């Protein structure tokens, strides 16, 4: 299940910073316009002067009260349309009361109105506001004919008002997109840096990449040896597992080596070859035309995050910077997860032999036994002990004894599967769990370990070679001999001591009737 990534809140139109200046400017301009017209115009008709005075007073009060109610109302869309209709009708009708010599002031009011309406509303109310005023004006000019050049001038003024409204909408859209990206980036950053599980981190990054970048494909790759292993790879709606590419000559390899961003707005195979980069198609069979990759480097992580699109020139500089920010946070989070896993792994391992310690081996054995029981599979347990180890230590020293323990564990690992368990039971005694292994298979493992020890020699500080001690082993089978892991361990341990009593360097695996 994908983690929930919060969507951005609506554009902050209620912000005091974004709304207060245009509203104050609109009130001031309306008041100045009316005062100038009343003082300097030749209007002597008392009714017209009264109407203009009412426009000034009521208009200023309307703008002030509207600003307050709009800012505090949850229904911004209703108030946006209400303002577009009321302001459009009011400013449109004003053309019939303003003398021709003062229409420049009126057009300034229209521009301020278009600016304010576009800020507080979406595109439709803003366009309606301009269109409503234009209708009033053109009806007036139709009834009171004007010259063609004046028609063109007035038409240009209204087109300019529409352009102003559209520019504001574009700026709002861009700002909203950036706010959305930053909010998602901030949310993802907070979540991934507090997550110590690598799979959860990759899931969060997957959700973030899908949410904020319009990419057809993307991947997160980590350098391992001379290959880049894709920890996450998405291409055109499909996820791909176990994808690896050679570092040498690849786009990702170039980023990992140079630790520099790579932005290719229009990817052409011929150009890549000229730059010494080998092209390899991974994922689907479609070729990406736009490609962006950034390094993802931490204390324990060296990798790359890349996005691609099937269309050229799909990404821009802001996408590159956003991807870089994501990569920096991803590297930090994966580093933390790696460090946490290392600490946990250290807590599970014996410090000398690097196999599981007593406590973690028992816990893991129980889990494997339950899984085998659920799947109807056997599990074999080997308990082994180094023969006469104390005498060996006393004769050759503890450093030589430590080398015997380390190499014994190496031989065990070389002769078992990755899914098998090795644990240090205590001192020179070890345990090996072999899930889905029957008695014959367990005997083969035990004999290979026995043979490896017999053929192993050590050198003392004076270069003298000495044979390593032998091992005695006891085997018990789950669930055939016991359905309880504690009893299974006890049974294998008893057989180990039977093997010692038989002369050491022996394997004891006589099955008893099941309990």
Position 13 scores a pLDDT of 41
pLDDT of 280 strictly over 70: no
Average pLDDT over residues 137-165: 85
Mean pLDDT across 182-194: 78
Longest dimension (CA), the chain: 130
Do 330 and 379 belong together in one domain? no
Considering the domain architecture, whether residues 142 and 229 belong to the same structural domain is answered as: no
Answer yes or no: do 421 and 379 share one domain.
yes
Are 101 and 63 found together in one domain? yes
Query: 157 or 277: whose pLDDT is higher?
Result: 157
In the chain the first and final C-alpha atoms are separated, in Å, by 44
pTM attached to this predicted model: 0.59
Least confident of 95-109, 152-166, 379-393: 95-109
Taking 3-state DSSP, the helix, strand and coil percentages for the chain, each rounded to the nearest 5, stand at 60, 15, 25
Whether the per-residue pLDDT at 133 is higher than 80: the answer is: yes
| Whether 55 and 172 share a structural domain | yes
pLDDT in tens, 406-430: 999 999 999 999 899 999 998 999 9
State yes or no: pLDDT of 37 exceeds 80: no
pLDDT at 14: 41
Q: For residue 262, what are the domain limits?
A: 198-344
Q: In what order do the strands lie in the sheet with 507-508?
A: 421-426, 429-435, 379-386, 471-478, 507-508
In the chain, the number of structural domains is 3
CA-to-CA dists, residue 122 to 170, 230, 494, angstroms: 10, 43, 82
Residue 269 in this model has a pLDDT that exceeds 50: yes
Q: Is the domain of 24 the same as that of 87?
A: yes
Co-location of 225 and 171 in the same domain:
no
Pick the residue with more confidence: 6 or 347? Answer: 347
330 and 374: one domain? no
Residue 353 lies in a domain: no
pLDDT at 122: 86
Cα 388 to the center of its chain, rounded Å? 56
What is the arithmetic mean of pLDDT over 472-500? 93
Residue 187 falls inside a structural domain: no
Contact predicate 169/157, CB 8 Å: no
In sequence order, which ranges of 194-261 are alpha helices (DSSP H)? 198-212, 251-258
Q: What is the pLDDT of residues 43-60, one digit of tens each?
A: 767 887 788 788 778 777
pLDDT of residue 380: 96
Please say if the pLDDT value at position 441 is more than 80.
Answer: yes
Considering the domain architecture, whether residues 339 and 364 belong to the same structural domain is answered as: no
Q: Do 36 and 129 fall into the same domain?
A: yes
310-335 pLDDT, tens per residue?
Answer: 988 889 888 898 899 889 888 888 88
Please state, in angstroms and rounded to a whole number, the distance separating the CA atoms of residues 25 and 115. Answer: 11
Answer whether residue 98 is part of any domain.
yes
Q: 462, 446, 367: which is closest to 411 by C-alpha?
A: 446
Residues 335 and 387 in one domain: no
φ/ψ of residue 11, rounded to 5: -55, 135
Q: Which helix (H) or strand (E) holds 187?
A: helix 148-193
Look at residue 434 in the predicted model and tell me its pLDDT.
96
What would the mean pLDDT of 241-250 be, rounded to a whole number? 85
């Amino acid at each position: 299940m994908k983690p929930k990534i919060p969507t951005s809140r609506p554009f902050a139109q209620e912000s005091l910073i974004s709304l207060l200046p245009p509203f104050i400017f609109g009130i001031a301009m309306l008041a100045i316009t009316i005062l100038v017209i009343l003082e300097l115009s030749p209007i002597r008709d008392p009714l017209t002067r009264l109407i203009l005075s009412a426009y000034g007073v009521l208009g200023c009060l309307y703008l002030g009260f509207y600003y307050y109610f709009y800012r505090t109302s949850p229904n911004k869309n209703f108030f946006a349309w209400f303002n577009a209709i009321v302001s459009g009708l009011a400013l449109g009708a004003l053309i019939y009361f303003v003398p021709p010599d003062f229409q420049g002031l009126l057009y300034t009011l229209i521009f301020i109105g278009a600016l304010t309406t576009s800020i507080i509303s979406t595109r439709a109310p803003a366009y309606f506001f301009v269109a409503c005023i234009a209708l009033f004006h053109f009806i007036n000019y139709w009834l009171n004919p004007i010259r063609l050049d004046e028609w063109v001038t007035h038409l240009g003024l209204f087109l300019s008002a529409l352009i102003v409204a559209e520019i504001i909408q574009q700026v709002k859209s861009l700002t909203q997109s950036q706010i959305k990206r930053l909010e998602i980036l901030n949310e993802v950053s907070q979540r991934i840096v507090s997550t110590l599980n690598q799979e959860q981190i990759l899931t969060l990054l997957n959700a973030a990449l899908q949410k904020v970048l319009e990419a057809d494909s993307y991947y997160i790759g980590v350098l391992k040896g001379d290959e880049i292993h894709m920890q996450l790879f998405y291409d055109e709606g499909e996820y791909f597992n176990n994808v690896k590419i050679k570092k040498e000559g690849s786009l990702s390899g170039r980023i990992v080596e140079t630790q520099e961003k790579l932005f290719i707005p229009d990817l052409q195979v011929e150009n890549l070859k000229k730059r010494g980069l080998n092209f390899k198609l991974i994922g689907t069979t479609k070729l990406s035309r736009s490609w962006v990759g950034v390094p993802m480097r931490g204390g324990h992580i060296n990798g790359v995050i890349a996005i691609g699109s099937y269309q050229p020139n799909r990404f821009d500089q802001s996408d590159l910077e956003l991807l870089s920010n994501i990569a920096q946070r991803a590297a930090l989070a994966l580093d933390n997860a790696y460090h946490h896993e290392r600490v946990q792994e250290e807590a599970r391992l014996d410090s000398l032999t690097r196999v599981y310690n007593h406590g973690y081996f028992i816990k893991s054995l129980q889990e494997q036994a339950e899984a085998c029981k659920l799947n109807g599979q056997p599990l074999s347990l080997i308990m082994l002990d180094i023969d006469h180890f104390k005498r060996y230590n006393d004769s050759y020293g503890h450093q030589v004894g430590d080398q015997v323990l380390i190499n014994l564990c190496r031989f065990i690992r070389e002769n078992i599967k990755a899914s098998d368990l090795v644990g240090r039971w205590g001192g020179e005694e070890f345990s090996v769990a072999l899930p889905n292994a029957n008695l014959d298979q367990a005997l083969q493992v035990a004999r290979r370990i026995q043979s490896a020890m017999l053929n192993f020699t050590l050198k003392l500080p004076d270069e003298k070679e000495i044979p390593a001690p032998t091992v005695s082993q006891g085997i018990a089978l789950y669930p055939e001999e016991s359905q309880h892991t504690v009893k299974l361990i006890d049974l294998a341990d008893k057989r180990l001591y039977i093997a010692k009593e038989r002369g050491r360097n022996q394997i004891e695996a006589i099955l008893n009737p099941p309990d």
